[in-house]
Chain A
Amino acid sequence: MSVRTMIFLVPLFPLLGFLLIGLIRKRLTRGFATLIGSGVVFISFIFSVILFLKLLNGAEPFNVTFATWIYAGNFSADFGLLVDPLSSLMLLIITGVGFLIHVYSIGYMWEDEGINRFFSYLNLFVFFMLLLVMGNNYLLMFVGWEGVGLCSYLLIGFWFKNQPFNHAANKAFIMNRIGDLALIVGVVLIFINYESISYSIVFPKVTIGEPVLTAITLLLFVGATGKSAQIPLYTWLPDAMAGPTPVSALIHAATMVTAGVYMVARNNIMYALSPVSMEVILVVGLATALFAATIALAQNDIKKVLAYSTVSQLGLMFVALGVGAYASGIFHMATHAFFKALLFLGAGSVIHAMHHEQDIRKMGGLKKYIPITFFTFLVGVLAISGIPPFAGFFSKDDILAKAFEHSPVAWAVAAIASLLTVFYMFRLLFLTFYGKTRASEHTIQHVHESPLSMTVPLIALAALSLLGGFMGVPELLGGGNWIGNFLSPVFAQAHELSAEHTLSHATEFILMGLIIGFTLVMIALAYVRYISKAHVPAAENAKLPFAHQTIYRKYYIDELYDAVVVKPLYWLAKLFDIVVEKSGIDRLVNLISESLNDWGVVIGRLQNGHVGYYIFVMAIGVVLVLAYSFLK
């Protein structure tokens, strides 16, 4: 099989899966539909591995054009796919983690009557996600970009009888569209300035930093804030937890939300030439990382904690991009995909065991009831907290070191966000699995470990979370930083521009030691508060201190947006409808026609049927004509 065919088949299989399940889902049994759904993703995974191995053995990136998609005037866009180290790595994550989550979903969704529909949506999502990372031009990437947004909408609102869920789905789609508008304008500006939208033509043309490049990169980044849930467009992601938990793992943790990171990394040369945009990315990333981490401290819904954690971790990835450490950002994206998918699936397993209970105040002591879930969840917590040698340690440390090179302040903020992460993750772990159970007797009697289809993916992801970090062991610790080298051709153009300055080993060791030390302090603090003192977060209506209340209510940002943006726009629309439209424009139109009517009455009087009157008017006319010709 030629490489060309293989590349084509990677996205094609999930698409076929969607069509097959989608079109005949009524006649498919659950078993068959889930088999198809998982199978097609697995096939794509196999192809991805083969392509990856080819690249690993030194093959040049594959850039294949299949057909012209849109050709109008001087504009043209191709159906073309690109497999280079960056997209190849993305392929492995999307199809690999994606496959595990498909398998998990078999168990998780088995009782749901819409399971076939669920799998068809998941397949469609994988298709669009693959298109997003494989497209060799901006427009095809945009197709995937919007397509995953659609699937996100469909899956957040999967249980469509529930109107609050539908609201969450709409909110996600609308906020994404705000970003998408910026993105598409950016793409148009790229086309105007570089006369093409193909990466392979545009990137070589980007050689000088000009004002328009700053505009382009900022616009693209606004698009990224929508998809990757950064300030100010992040509020949809916590609400998106309305979707089934596998969706949260796949779309809202491991893959879709990292699209913005991918996109910025893909355009690294543009960003390298736009220092202003880089600063903006860094600041937004830092702010989001810290801000979301504080919110996560006070949440009591197991999925909400993980959602804010995701926002915060994505912020860290943008910090990496903002300081020009593209490979570090992608590295953290990969490890995050492992451990955050693991944590979400673990949370799903807990929710499954607890009969749809998501409130950690009503959990506790679950470790002896669901040991596999507990153990794998623990691995996830250790990984995200950056305990060596778990995956998160290496990637997070990498970002922090690169941030320190840029500025110690950036390092400090990112470090605080990371330490907060440690605290809230252990809080979550302790409240859920340790201590005495707070669940009702009835619930606890029915708590059961999840079926194999769910635990096997958990174990696989736990293994990845344990070992994944070894793809980027820094030189400092005697590693070869494999991932950095593998990705270096993609970022070569950008790296040529940035001055290389590395920290001394001593500094790096000190920073690393500091972080590890404080991490242990955080764990101890969480231990004291939630295990020794067995503190349980206050009940829903309890009066909280002001600061606590503020972060529990997520800084009232949703309320703020509603009051400052949504409501005023709504009243403006009402104003248009009632005042401008009905009593303004339409009234005016009617007035014109009515005035014509009045004129008609006036002119109509001229024809009153009296012959004498006609003669009189005629005489005046004759006089006027004569007078006119004399005076001329």
Chain B
Amino acid sequence: MLTVVLIVLPFVAALLALRLPQQLAGRVAFLAALAELIVSVVVLFHFDKTGGLQFVFDKHWIDSLGISFSVGIDGISLLLVLLTTVLTPGIILTAWGDTSKPSSYFSLILAMQAALVGVFVAQDGFLFYLFWEMALIPIYFICLNWGGENRGKITLKFFIYTLTGSLLMLVALILLYVKTPGTHTFAIQALYEAGRSMDLPHQTFVFATMFLAFAIKMPVFPFHTWQPDTYTVAPVQGTMLLSAIMLKMGIYGVIRWLIPMVPLAVKEWGMIAIILSVIGIVYASCIAWVQKDFKRLVAYSSIAHVGLISAGTLTLNETGMQGAIIQMISHGVIVFGMFYIVEIVSARTHTREMNQLGGIRNVAPILATAFSVIMLGSVALPFTSGFVGEFLLINSLVHYQLWLGVVAGLTMILSVVYMFRAFQKTMLGETNTLTASVGDLTRQERFVLYPIVILIVLIGIYPQPLLDISATAVKNLLSVYLDVRFL
């Protein structure tokens, strides 16, 4: 039942916020997000790490089509739900006070949260697809109505691009559905069985279409060109939703809906996906290096980091999968902090051009320190959250194929090249007319950034609780690759 609460609560709150007076909306939205956080923490405390799927809720919904409202939480779902519930209050808080039409804005953020949680807990193919598309609608409006210059064109491109992917996924889901025995069903286990019993050409079709959908969402090279523009033009809360949480839908999709579904095709074609991801790491890092726009740089860095996660996931190595999951959490936290830093700096100086900035550390030392910790997480320094996942992922890639691992490992060098450059250009040196009057973090900003900084260090030093949560679920998911019947 708690799983349903997790979906319904933000949804109801979203409807409520819509009807509230503008000045109240932010507070109510924040409280609702806090309540959601508390529910998820309750789930965490009642979660049995050694068990499989828990907090299951399964009711027939559209019987004639074999669709049921089936949700449940295993370790992987739980971590992503927690990521969502931890970050959403922060996202809402960053929007307090300087948003036009707050009621609708906060309402959309909460609706987004409901859909995201839905994606991470759905145990029915149709339901998964439904939440997947539902998540697109709020973010579309957030970007369209609150975005920056040229938002109409960019948002439309983003919308069409991702919708194309999702429709392909729908085709694959229907194909799987048709292959289920009897009166057909969308239940995830039935779809797994159907997928696994298909021959290679059919599996390949499912793999190609679904991977495309997920690859666009993450995004993986070369399906990424919507991303830098969208991230840059979206309001910061939109960027955070997109980068910190929504892109995890893509990786989650690969883990939950692709790898266990079509093992033959993953084995056969996984290499291509891994190579694309690895190319993306180097390619996006290089482009990040020559960016002048601070926000765009962070957007490209996200492509690079996600490339590593997606490559490591597809190695089908238990260690790598564990690394991918903890890296999703870490990336969510870090990229959230990073975009917030970008927002704080650009809101105060009215520019994102790094060449015009500099010396901010002189006038805003706390801001600079927060930025530096987040940056260290981003370049995966040991004892920050970024290191644990990055090491496990590189480890699994070297295992898979030495040279792919080495090329992917270039991110260790390249991330320093572009991130430290950005830090130097914005924070170090002497102040100029633009930056001389930059104020340090306000209480509200500190309230958001301190937990982020603490999380980055804490997860880096003691990652084991998170790794323990996902361990059993990862074992279960990969067990199909030990089963000769399907290989």
Question: Are A180 and B430 closer than 8 Å at their CB atoms?
Answer: no
Render A581-604 as a binary contact track against B, CB cut-off 8 A, 1 for contact. Answer: 100011001000100000000000
Residues from chain B with a CB closer than 8 A to the CB of A188 are: 394-395, 398-399, 405
Which one of A170-178, A316-324, A444-452 is at the B interface? A170-178
Tell me which residues from 547 to 598 in chain A have a Cβ below 8 Å from any Cβ of chain B. Answer: 569-570, 572-574, 576-577, 580-581, 585-586, 589, 593
| Contacts A73-B317, A181-B409; A161 near B428 (Cβ below 8 A) | yes
CB distance from A217 to the nearest CB of B (A): 16
Residues from chain A with a CB closer than 8 A to the CB of B417 are: 174
Closest 10 A-B residue pairs measured CB to CB?
A73-B319, A73-B318, A72-B322, A573-B286, A143-B382, A586-B225, A188-B398, A160-B428, A75-B319, A573-B290
Question: Are A191 and B395 closer than 8 Å at their CB atoms?
Answer: yes
Alpha-carbon gap, A146 to B379, bound state (A): 11
Can you identify 24 A-B contacts, CB atoms within 8 angstroms? A68-B464, A70-B388, A73-B318, A73-B322, A73-B474, A74-B318, A147-B381, A150-B381, A163-B424, A170-B416, A173-B416, A177-B412, A181-B410, A181-B413, A185-B394, A185-B402, A188-B399, A570-B290, A573-B286, A574-B290, A577-B287, A585-B222, A585-B225, A589-B161
B16 close to chain A: CB less than 8 A: no
Q: Which of A73, A161, A180, A585 meets B359, CB within 8 Å? A: A161
CB distance from B353 to the nearest CB of A (A): 16
| Contacts A72-B319, A143-B383, A577-B290; A170 near B398 (Cβ below 8 A) | no
Tell me which residues from 184 to 222 in chain A have a Cβ below 8 Å from any Cβ of chain B. Answer: 184-185, 188-189, 191-192
B463 close to chain A: CB less than 8 A: yes
CB distance from A74 to the nearest CB of B (A): 6
Interfacial residues, chain B to chain A (CB-CB below 8 A):
157, 160-161, 222, 225-226, 283, 286-287, 289-291, 317-323, 326, 359, 361-362, 376, 381-383, 388, 391-392, 394-395, 398-399, 402, 405-406, 409-410, 412-413, 416-417, 420-421, 424, 427-430, 462-464, 467, 471, 474
New contact pairs (10) apart from A70-B463, A570-B289, CB-CB < 8 Å: A73-B319, A75-B319, A150-B376, A161-B430, A163-B429, A177-B413, A180-B412, A185-B406, A589-B225, A593-B160
Alpha-carbon gap, A185 to B396, bound state (A): 11
A616 close to chain B: CB less than 8 A: no
Residues from chain A with a CB closer than 8 A to the CB of B226 are: 589
Tell me which residues from 116 to 164 in chain A have a Cβ below 8 Å from any Cβ of chain B. Answer: 139, 142-143, 146-147, 150, 153, 157, 160-163
Alpha-carbon gap, A572 to B427, bound state (A): 27
| Contacts A173-B416, A573-B286; A72 near B467 (Cβ below 8 A) | yes
Alpha-carbon gap, A475 to B359, bound state (A): 59
Alpha-carbon gap, A142 to B381, bound state (A): 10
| Contacts A146-B381, A166-B424, A191-B395; A74 near B319 (Cβ below 8 A) | yes
Question: Are A160 and B160 closer than 8 Å at their CB atoms?
Answer: no
Residues from chain B with a CB closer than 8 A to the CB of A70 are: 388, 391-392, 463-464, 467
Residues from chain B with a CB closer than 8 A to the CB of A153 are: 420
Residues from chain B with a CB closer than 8 A to the CB of A160 are: 361, 427-429
Q: Which of A68, A142, A146, A178 has the most CB of B within 10 A?
A: A146
Alpha-carbon gap, A162 to B361, bound state (A): 12
Residues from chain A with a CB closer than 8 A to the CB of B424 are: 163, 166-167, 170
Question: Are B429 and A189 closer than 8 Å at their CB atoms?
Answer: no
Residues from chain A with a CB closer than 8 A to the CB of B381 are: 146-147, 150
A614 close to chain B: CB less than 8 A: no
Closest partner residue, chain B, to A578 (CB atom) = B290
A71 close to chain B: CB less than 8 A: yes
Closest partner residue, chain B, to A219 (CB atom) = B406
Closest partner residue, chain B, to A167 (CB atom) = B424
Closest partner residue, chain B, to A170 (CB atom) = B420
Residues from chain A with a CB closer than 8 A to the CB of B429 are: 160-163, 166
Question: Are B287 and A581 closer than 8 Å at their CB atoms?
Answer: yes
Alpha-carbon gap, A185 to B408, bound state (A): 11
Alpha-carbon gap, A174 to B429, bound state (A): 19
CB distance from B414 to the nearest CB of A (A): 9
Alpha-carbon gap, A574 to B286, bound state (A): 8
Residues from chain A with a CB closer than 8 A to the CB of B382 are: 142-143, 146-147
Closest partner residue, chain B, to A179 (CB atom) = B413
Question: Are A72 and B323 closer than 8 Å at their CB atoms?
Answer: yes
Q: Which of A68, A580, A581 has the most CB of B within 10 A?
A: A581
Alpha-carbon gap, A148 to B413, bound state (A): 16
Residues from chain B with a CB closer than 8 A to the CB of A191 are: 395
Residues from chain A with a CB closer than 8 A to the CB of B320 are: 73
CB distance from B433 to the nearest CB of A (A): 16
Question: Are B416 and A174 closer than 8 Å at their CB atoms?
Answer: yes
CB distance from B464 to the nearest CB of A (A): 6
Alpha-carbon gap, A170 to B225, bound state (A): 30
Residues from chain B with a CB closer than 8 A to the CB of A586 are: 225
A69 close to chain B: CB less than 8 A: yes
